[in-house]
């Protein structure tokens, strides 16, 4: 009988250790998810900033007349896309 009690105590002890380890892993998982979210947000911010800088470079090249034909076509496409988006917004506002 004492052997069974001893085994039960060992099992309870191991179970408590597993519960503690599980809680620690949950906390770590939550922390890592938060860090991942922050890094994604930071990455998106940097990507947007890089896109803005690229647009500024294109505008400067355009104003100085330093654009080749391909760059001019790309700029025209982007401007046409912006105009279409603006037209859609105006149409939605008028409804």
Please give the Cα distance from 84 to 81 (Å, whole number).
5
* pLDDT for the residue numbered 71: 80
DSSP label at 65? T
Q: What does the mean pLDDT of the chain come to?
A: 90
Higher pLDDT, 19 or 64: 19
> What is d(CA 90, CA 85) in angstroms, rounded to the nearest whole number?
9
In the structure, what pLDDT confidence band is assigned to residue 83 with cuts at 50, 70 and 90? very high
Please report, for the chain, the start and end positions of each structural domain, with discontinuous segments joined by +: 1-52, 65-95
Q: Is the pLDDT of residue 55 over 90?
A: no
In the 8-state DSSP scheme, what is residue 66?
-
Q: What is the pLDDT of residues 7-23, one digit of tens each?
A: 999 999 999 999 999 99
- pLDDT at residue 36, rounded to an integer: 96
Percent of the chain with pLDDT over 90: 59
In our burial notation (b when 16+ CB lie closer than 10 A, e otherwise), range 56-86 reads: eebeeeeeeeebeeeeeeebeeeeeeeeeee
pLDDT for position 1: 66
């Amino acid at each position: 009988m004492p052997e069974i009690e001893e085994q039960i105590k060992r099992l309870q002890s191991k179970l408590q250790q597993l519960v503690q380890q599980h809680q620690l892993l949950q906390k770590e998982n939550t922390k890592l998810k938060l860090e991942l979210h922050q890094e994604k947000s930071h990455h998106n911010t940097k990507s947007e900033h890089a896109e803005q800088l690229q647009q500024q470079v294109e505008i400067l090249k355009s104003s100085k007349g330093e654009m080749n034909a391909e760059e001019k076509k790309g700029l025209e496409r982007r401007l046409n896309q912006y105009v279409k988006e603006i037209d859609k917004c105006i149409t939605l506002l008028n409804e």
